[in-house]
Chain A
Amino acid sequence: MENKTFTISVYSENNVGLLNRISGIFLKRHINILSLNVSESEIENVSRFIIVVDTTEKWVKNIVGQIEKQIEVIKAFYHEDDETIFLENALFKIESGLLFDERQIQNIIKESNSEIVTVSRKFFVISKSGRRSEITELHAKLKPFGIMQFVRSGRISVSKEPMEISTLLQELNINKY
């Protein structure tokens, strides 16, 4: 079985220690997490993990099964890239002088559909949302001018098809909260 990129979505209670429990499942199987994002979900008091891994379908099934088994996990899903809408976000901190000395930087910013989020006397910060390839491309273009700091977020994604989680939770909520 060949390796593929899978996006694992986990809906869970918001509890101390759950991140450790979930990351341990990957550790035990010696599978590297490519990116991890935890946020609120569309449902009140329910957290959503987005975990990206490069592995086989057999392993991703095994992992999702183990994740779902954890007491505080409500439901877990996995998707391939073409089944989700996904993006990452990146910040580039660059020396302010370059904005005036290197005019093509402004063109790069425009063409890449990124935006300047702040400008100060010493530096300015560009924010870019999009696919990994777009961020990598922008990084390559800006690199020759000197990047003071660079950071990229984990992947966030939503599935194209509905995940049955909302109805499931509505039913559960009626009973419990």
Chain B
Amino acid sequence: MSAKSQSQKPKAQNNMRISGAEAVIRCLLEEGSDLVYGYPGGAIMPVYDELYKFQDKLHHVLVRHEQGAAHAAQGFARATGKVGVCIATSGPGATNLVTGIADAQIDSTPLVCITGQVGKHLLGSDAFQETDIIGISTPVTKWNYQITEAHEIPEIMAKAFYIARSGRPGPVLIDITKNAQFDLLDFSYTKCTDIRSYHPKPILNKEKVKEAAAIINSAKKPLIIFGQGIVLSEAEAELKELIEKAGIPAAWTILGLSALPTDHDFNVGMVGMHGNYGPNMLTNECDVLIALGMRFDDRVTGDLKTYAKQAKVLHFEIDAAEVDKNVKTAVAVLADLKDALTELLPQIEKNSHTEWHNEFKRHYDIELEAVINEELAPTNGKGISMGETIEMINKHSHADAIMVSDVGQHQMFTCRYSKFNQTKSNVTSGGLGTMGFALPAAIGAKMGRPDREVVAVIGDGGFQMNIQELGTINQTKVPVKIVVLNNEFLGMVRQWQELFFDNRYASTVMVNPNFCAIAEGYYIKARKVTKREELDEAVAEMMASKEAYFLEVMVEKENNVFPMIPTGASVSDIRLS
């Protein structure tokens, strides 16, 4: 289809006759992408040859493993809101991207992934480094396409960027055969603004907004849960206005974190498995549950049969397939969040719901007493806690850093205790739970936002899953701050083994290397903290460093993350210990 429609177009005047490989670079520049992550190899060499020629215009970051390229592009996208781009060769290069692509798909992150492929005449011959990356990536991409002719490149690249960034964003993979990179085409570029079978922005149904407004206005105990939809549609200001005008307590999913400042009076914390006590308990007491750009993931809802059954659920969502998928809605508003909230706001009546807010405060005090105080300032003679390390980072970052977390206990502590003044500041692998995400994602986030402080918080397990990206930091000198919270365990799995598997610690004990020596081996400044008294000064030193800095903190080995909703339990069965 694309091939035909392209060739039927009359040739424009002033077209340049260039190679497919050069066209790929020019397409990236046309889309404003001047920073890409990648790793060269046989089937993508023509593109790398052009990258050499264009190096003053387009910065290519050589990662140490293609998975690192995908996560770095994700970190860039999440911190900037722009499309992240990564490049890999065919075969293993392409398959190494897959984890990052799957992560981007489930966390709605806009990526364009470009892979080289063997020549068209070799397709299907089991040629060297040939793999069916289109087949492999289909279930984890928003769209993918194999280019086999050079003249397809401009149109397909334009579609790739349009699809990746529009609607509910996601990853797109473009596989380009080697002949298409070498062959010549007449190049002209038009940005894609419309695909007839694709309607990224639903038309806002104003009647539904009116219905939702009426329900919100008559609510006695309303609760907002917001997700990444707020960040993706840049509706942070509208969210804040809604909360303040209607006086509604607002809780967040892990990907909604940082869309509302943490110290906002109506910010009542995180929902879900390791979320806060109040919003979880009160989900089952509210009369109206207003879900904004979130998808009722099982880690958020726990047992669906006992989830918010008493509440009228209003779901504001851009993706029609998410409505009524897990939770039955009273009113669904299908729209871009910013459009929907802009329409909603004038119809909202002022309210304060003071009594209802007091309920959250009462629950917070219970959690403070049972969990938070001890976590942030341990008095039990135990070693450094993860929570107090995060609190120390808050102190020295002034709640203004981009926090990049990996997956596991440290991730839950980072999300529970980090403080944020600015949006797009929490970068973590939410849906897929990809260990190894944080180190490369932090590189991407820092390169995308060189003006911001970027702190990667990683466990000793996850750090070793993409530890090779220390090489990328060494080569690029990107000044990221890396904090490894070392408990010499795969902590989250160990916690489950303790709670649900009778303390049988099967393969969760980690015998670790000398991490500081490894960081120093990559010429990265490194420091190890084992005592509480050193923590303040060490974090201060790290935050003050103008260069990349590695800080290893030896934390208490067998601490647990609480509160916790056991798998399959109801949100109101949340445990404080």
Contacts and interface: CB of A to CB of B under 8 A. Distances in A.
A20 B196 contact: no
A14 B197 CA distance: 11
A68 to B, nearest CB: 7
A175 B142 contact: no
A86 B197 CA distance: 26
A74 B196 contact: yes
Given A62-B325, A175-B196, A13 B138 contact: no
Nearest to B198: A71
Interface in B303-338: 319-321, 324-325
Interface in B85-140: 134-135, 138-139
B194 interface: yes
A7 B270 CA distance: 41
Contacts of A65: 320-321, 325
Given A175-B194, A176-B194, A69 B320 contact: yes
A69 B319 contact: yes
A112 B138 CA distance: 44
A43 to B, nearest CB: 11
A94 B420 CA distance: 77
A20 B197 contact: no
Contact of A74 (B134, B143, B197, B324): B197
A17 B194 CA distance: 21
Contact of B163 (A71, A74, A173): A71
A24 B197 CA distance: 19
A61 interface: yes
A61 B324 contact: yes
A17 B321 contact: no
B511 interface: no
Contacts of A72: 197-198
Contacts of A173: 196
Contacts of B12: none
A176 B196 CA distance: 7
Contact of A20 (B138, B194, B195, B324): B138
Contacts of A71: 142-143, 163, 195, 197-198
B197 A66 contact: no
Interface residues of B, number: 21
A89 B204 CA distance: 44
Given A71-B143, A175-B194, A175-B196, A21 B320 contact: no
A68 B323 CA distance: 13
A125 interface: no
A100 interface: no
* Chain A interface SS verdict (over half): helix
B1 A68 contact: no
A73 B139 contact: no
A17 B132 CA distance: 11
A122 B144 CA distance: 49
A107 interface: no
Interface string A19-41: 01100100110000000000000
Contacts of B321: 62, 65-66, 68-69
A13 B197 CA distance: 8
A20 B198 CA distance: 18
A15 B156 CA distance: 13
A1 interface: no
Contacts of A176: 194, 196
Nearest to B135: A20
A66 B138 CA distance: 13
A45 B138 CA distance: 23
Contacts of A24: 138-139
A110 to B, nearest CB: 47
A13 B139 contact: no
A121 to B, nearest CB: 40
Given A24-B138, A62-B321, A69-B319, A177 B197 contact: no
Given A71-B142, A71-B198, A73-B197, A14 B319 contact: no
A12 interface: yes
Contacts of B142: 71
A172 interface: yes
A45 B197 CA distance: 12
Given A172-B196, A176-B194, A177-B196, A17 B144 contact: yes
Contacts of B1: 13-15, 45
A68 B320 contact: yes
A146 to B, nearest CB: 40
For A62, A69, A173, A176, the residue with the greatest tally of chain B CB atoms inside 10 Å of its CB is A69
Interface in B366-399: none
Which of B138, B144, B194, B324 has its CB near the most chain A CB atoms (within 10 A)? B138
Nearest to B143: A71
Contact of B197 (A12, A27, A28, A61): A12
A48 B268 CA distance: 49
A11 to B, nearest CB: 9
Contacts of B196: 74, 172-173, 175-177
Contacts of A68: 320-321
Contacts of A69: 319-321
A122 B404 CA distance: 74
A73 B143 CA distance: 11
Contacts of A13: 1, 197
Interface in A44-85: 45, 61-62, 65-66, 68-69, 71-74
B256 to A, nearest CB: 22
Contacts of B319: 69
21 contacts: A13-B1, A13-B197, A17-B134, A20-B138, A21-B138, A21-B139, A24-B138, A27-B139, A28-B139, A61-B324, A62-B321, A68-B320, A69-B319, A71-B195, A71-B198, A72-B198, A73-B197, A74-B196, A74-B197, A176-B196, A177-B196
Given A12-B197, A68-B320, 6 more contacts: A15-B1, A17-B144, A17-B145, A21-B139, A24-B138, A71-B198
Interface of B: 1, 134-135, 138-139, 142-146, 163, 194-198, 319-321, 324-325
Interface of A: 12-17, 20-21, 24, 27-28, 45, 61-62, 65-66, 68-69, 71-74, 172-173, 175-177
8 nearest CB pairs, A to B: A65-B321, A74-B197, A172-B196, A176-B196, A71-B143, A24-B139, A71-B198, A69-B321
